[in-house]
């Protein structure tokens, strides 16, 4: 056991060193690297990933994991959880025949440009045979991975959100169907009246950057351990708790875009920063799950960042930076602008109220695909029918319909539902936090220090050392309950749209 632990810890150190190399490469290639460098670099990356694979599948390491697993009761709690997870992933990896793995990787590389072309030219037929191949591979994968306790689509759901299955998600989405769908339809019929002149103005990127710096202070995004830069698509990446990096994208004609993407990514980043630093040396660092991570970004972006009290506290700073652009604009105009509900075809542009309905549609389709009840020839019709049913809109073409998301072309099924679950976790966590703190008062103080501290104690510190269901229960005192989310949305939008 002593020896096994030593082998495990030594290998963890090596895997962490690989992580550093991949982290720096990933960051660099999205922000700074010249486009011409990728050919040479990809050869070096190939060597690195082969070294990584060998380290990860070293027989001594595997034997050590098995020894530790067999005597896991004697391990401390973090290691107990970690060894179960690491062993689970190793078993899954080994179930895939190498030939399948290689063929699937090749297919993925081939599909991406075809997917892009199909999307650009509104041509589902071009994409369909490849989608069929991807789905066939994924069905084969499910066959390989099935166990006595888990099979089918549940395997994908569990990979993205450990412990969540079809039953859990059905309960969640049925709540949305019953309570949120009719409410969202009644809101979409109404219009928010406010002065819109500022929405047509141009906003200097330099001043937008100055506002991002200001937000960094407000959100306690520690400048000594963080970097904020620009990239095409905003993202967060980290190397432990001492190096957390986010990107944003500035648009001169859309001020809100950079503000909310920056707050969103800082929410992800704050989570990474506040994990217990001792976990940096383990494989239990970072966030607990996809949905738990998304809960932290959406709590900051939507529940705090789009709230009235946030802007009554901070709008003066925007006015100071953009006095001409915001002439004759009140904070109420601005709050309405950042919360208006619009019928949208595109998930990534959806407002806070209807976002999870876009996800619900994808979840229903994925469930049908993996229970062999979806006809791929008619998939766009199914997509359009569900948009009509739940969002009340008529999809005009496949580019803005079924071809809009990259996920399925990359074989990612079971991922979408975590986006909606994250928002629902956020509402439940917010509700619990509001019992301990007066959140509105805290926001008015100008800094979110107390909120960051509460999240650190109740959610962030655990990193991935516990599963998301356990963390949610520790933080909120109860199991997942989707009604907090629907209650929050109905209360917020009833007030905004003056619905009794």
Q: Which stretch binds Zn ion (CB under 5 A): 104-112, 290-298, 299-307, 407-415?
A: 290-298
CB of residue 151 to Zn ion, shortest distance in Å: 30
Tell me, rounded to whole angstroms, the distance of Cα 56 from its chain centroid: 26
- Residue pair 310/304 in contact (Cβ under 8 Å)? The answer is yes
Q: Does 248 sit near Zn ion (CB under 5 A)?
A: no
Q: Which residue is nearest to Zn ion (CB)?
A: 297
The residue (of 283 and 297) whose beta carbon lies closer to Zn ion is 297
- Phi first, then psi: what are they for 236, rounded to 5°? -125, 140
The residue (of 154 and 297) whose beta carbon lies closer to Zn ion is 297
CB of residue 455 to Zn ion, shortest distance in Å: 16
The residue (of 79 and 246) whose beta carbon lies closer to Zn ion is 246
Token pair of 385 as six digits? 């029918």
Which helix or strand (DSSP H or E) is residue 78 part of? helix 77-94
CB of residue 91 to Zn ion, shortest distance in Å: 29
Query: Which residue in the list 161, 265, 294, 352 is annotated as catalytic?
Result: 265
- Residue pair 292/459 in contact (Cβ under 8 Å)? The answer is yes
Closest alpha carbon to 496 in 338, 304, 325, 298: 338
Return the DSSP state at 280.
G
Q: Which stretch binds Zn ion (CB under 5 A): 40-48, 291-299, 402-410, 430-438?
A: 291-299
CB of residue 426 to Zn ion, shortest distance in Å: 11
The residue (of 131 and 420) whose beta carbon lies closer to Zn ion is 420
- Burial label, 166 (beta-carbon count in 10 A; 0-12, 13-18, 19+): middle
CB of residue 298 to Zn ion, shortest distance in Å: 7
The count of chain residues that interact with Zn ion, using the rule CB under 5 A, is 1
Residues 6+ positions from 142 with CB-CB distance below 8 Å: 151, 152, 153, 155, 156, 370
Q: Which stretch binds Zn ion (CB under 5 A): 293-301, 380-388, 393-401, 465-473?
A: 293-301
Token pair of 252 as six digits? 């001169």
- Residue pair 442/213 in contact (Cβ under 8 Å)? The answer is no
- Residue pair 248/221 in contact (Cβ under 8 Å)? The answer is no
The residue (of 152 and 267) whose beta carbon lies closer to Zn ion is 267
CB of residue 432 to Zn ion, shortest distance in Å: 21
The residue (of 51 and 406) whose beta carbon lies closer to Zn ion is 406
Number of other CB atoms surrounding residue 403 within 10 Å: 24
Q: How far apart are CA 465 and CA 51, in angstroms?
A: 26
Can you spell out the DSSP letters for 141-187?
A: HHHHH--SS--THHHHHHHHSTT--HHHHHHHHHHIIIIIHHHHHHH
Q: Is 265 a catalytic residue?
A: yes
Number of H helices, E strands in the chain: 21, 3
The residue (of 292 and 402) whose beta carbon lies closer to Zn ion is 292
The residue (of 154 and 261) whose beta carbon lies closer to Zn ion is 261
CB of residue 313 to Zn ion, shortest distance in Å: 24
The residue (of 297 and 354) whose beta carbon lies closer to Zn ion is 297
Q: Which stretch binds Zn ion (CB under 5 A): 127-135, 248-256, 294-302, 364-372?
A: 294-302
Q: How far apart are CA 187 and CA 493, in angstroms?
A: 8
Q: Does 297 sit near Zn ion (CB under 5 A)?
A: yes
Query: CA-CA distances (angstroms) from residue 412 to 135, 182, 346, 445, 455?
Result: 10, 30, 18, 42, 30
- Residue pair 136/159 in contact (Cβ under 8 Å)? The answer is no
Q: Does 145 sit near Zn ion (CB under 5 A)?
A: no
Q: Which stretch binds Zn ion (CB under 5 A): 53-61, 65-73, 194-202, 295-303?
A: 295-303
CB of residue 126 to Zn ion, shortest distance in Å: 30
CB of residue 497 to Zn ion, shortest distance in Å: 26
Closest alpha carbon to 119 in 361, 410, 402, 358: 402
Provide the b/e sequence for 212-229 (b: ≥16 CB within 10 Å): beebbebbbbbeebbebe
Token pair of 218 as six digits? 């407000």
The residue (of 352 and 398) whose beta carbon lies closer to Zn ion is 352
- Residue pair 269/246 in contact (Cβ under 8 Å)? The answer is yes
CB of residue 315 to Zn ion, shortest distance in Å: 25
Residues that bind Zn ion (CB under 5 A): 297
Residues annotated as part of the active site:
265
């Amino acid at each position: 056991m002593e020896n096994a632990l030593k082998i495990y810890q030594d290998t963890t150190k090596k895997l962490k060193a690989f992580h550093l190399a991949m982290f720096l490469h990933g960051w660099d290639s999205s922000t700074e690297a010249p486009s011409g460098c990728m050919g040479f670099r990809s050869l070096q990356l190939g060597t690195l990933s082969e070294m990584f694979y060998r380290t990860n599948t070293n027989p001594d390491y595997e034997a050590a994991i098995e020894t530790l697993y067999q005597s896991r009761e004697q391990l401390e709690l973090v290691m107990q959880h970690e060894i179960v997870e690491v062993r689970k992933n190793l078993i899954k990896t080994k179930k895939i025949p190498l030939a399948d793995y290689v063929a699937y990787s090749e297919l993925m590389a081939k599909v991406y440009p075809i997917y892009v072309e199909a999307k650009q030219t509104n041509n589902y037929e071009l994409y369909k045979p490849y989608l069929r191949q991807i789905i066939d591979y994924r069905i084969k994968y499910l066959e390989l991975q099935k166990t006595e306790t888990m099979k089918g689509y549940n395997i994908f759901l569990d990979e993205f959100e450990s412990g969540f299955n079809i039953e859990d998600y059905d309960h969640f989405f049925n709540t949305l169907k019953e309570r949120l769908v009719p409410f969202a339809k009644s809101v979409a019929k109404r219009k928010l009246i406010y002065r819109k002149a500022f929405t047509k103005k141009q906003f200097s990127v330099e001043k937008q950057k100055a506002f991002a710096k200001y937000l960094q202070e407000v959100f306690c995004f520690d400048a000594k351990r963080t970097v904020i830069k620009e990239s095409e698509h905003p993202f967060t990446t980290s190397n432990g708790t001492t190096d957390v990096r986010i990107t944003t994208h500035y648009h001169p004609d859309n001020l809100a875009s950079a503000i909310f993407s920056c707050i969103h990514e800082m929410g992800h980043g704050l989570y990474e920063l506040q994990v217990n630093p001792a976990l940096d040396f383990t494989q239990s660092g970072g966030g607990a799950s996809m949905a738990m991570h998304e809960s932290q970004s959406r709590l900051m972006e939507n529940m705090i960042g789009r709230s009235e009290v946030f802007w009554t506290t901070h709008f003066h700073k925007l006015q100071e930076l953009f006095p001409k652009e915001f002439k004759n604009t009140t904070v109420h105009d601005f709050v309405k602008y950042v919360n208006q509900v619009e019928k949208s075809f595109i998930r990534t542009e959806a407002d806070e109220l209807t976002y999870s309905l876009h996800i619900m549609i994808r979840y229903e389709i994925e469930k049908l695909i993996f229970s062999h009840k979806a006809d791929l020839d008619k998939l766009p019709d199914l997509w359009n029918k569900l948009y009509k049913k739940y969002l009340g809109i008529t999809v005009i073409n496949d580019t803005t319909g079924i071809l809009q998301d990259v996920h399925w072309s990359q074989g990612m099924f079971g991922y979408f539902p975590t986006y909606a679950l994250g928002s629902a976790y956020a509402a439940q966590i917010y509700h619990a936090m509001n019992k301990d703190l007066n959140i509105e008062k805290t926001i008015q103080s100008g800094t979110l220090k107390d909120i960051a501290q509460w999240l650190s104690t109740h959610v962030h510190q655990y990193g991935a050392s516990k599963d998301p269901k356990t963390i949610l229960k520790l933080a909120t005192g109860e199991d997942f309950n989707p009604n907090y989310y629907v209650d929050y949305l109905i209360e917020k939008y009833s007030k905004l749209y003056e619905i009794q």
